[in-house]
């Protein structure tokens, strides 16, 4: 079965700093990858997804992620974070008919 690792559990940044959150999945082949965001007190929302094609995926709110097959990675990036990006971020990989989620990264952006 697939598994997902998110190595950064807590990240603190100042506004306008660049963001990169790591995500690694366990084995190759055809993969479907996702990043979800959970704002405080809310449910998970999809930021972006990768199914095939261009390995650089652009999502909502200025986020992007790069699929690197050789590294089994799907890192999330944003060039300049805002205070409103404070949230928890989850990487997920499809495992047959299910999604397997990482343990999440809490991002705190200070104004």
Partner 1 sequence: NAGVTQTPKFQVLKTGQSMTLQCAQDMNHNSMYWYRQDPGMGLRLIYYSASEGTTDKGEVPNGYNVSRLNKREFSLRLESAAPSQTSVYFCASSEVAGLGSYEQYFGPGTRLTVT
List contacts with partner 1 (CB under 8 A).
Answer: 6, 9, 32, 34, 42-46, 49, 51-52, 90, 94, 97-104
Smallest distance from partner 1 to CB 73, Å: 18
Q: Which is nearer to partner 1, 17 or 100 (CB)?
A: 100
Vertex 73: Cα angle to 40 and 46 (nearest 5): 35
Q: What share of the chain is helix, strand, coil (3-state, %, to 5)?
A: 10, 50, 40
Smallest distance from partner 1 to CB 66, Å: 19
Smallest distance from partner 1 to CB 90, Å: 6
First to last CA, the chain: 41
Residues 61, 35: contact at Cβ < 8 Å? no
Smallest distance from partner 1 to CB 5, Å: 11
Q: Which is nearer to partner 1, 6 or 24 (CB)?
A: 6
Q: Measured between alpha carbons, how far is 33 from 105 in angstroms, rounded to an integer? A: 16
Q: Which is nearer to partner 1, 17 or 88 (CB)?
A: 88
């Amino acid at each position: 079965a697939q598994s997902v690792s998110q190595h950064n559990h807590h990240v603190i940044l100042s506004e306008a700093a660049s963001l990169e959150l790591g995500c690694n999945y366990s084995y190759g082949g055809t993969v479907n990858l996702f990043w979800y965001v959970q704002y405080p007190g809310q449910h998970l929302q999809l930021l972006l997804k990768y199914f095939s094609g261009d390995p650089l995926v652009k999502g909502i709110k200025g986020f992007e992620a790069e699929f690197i097959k050789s590294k089994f990675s799907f890192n999330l990036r944003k060039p300049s974070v805002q205070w409103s990006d404070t949230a928890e971020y989850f990487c997920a990989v499809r495992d047959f008919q299910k999604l397997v989620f990482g343990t999440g990264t809490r991002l705190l952006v200070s104004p």
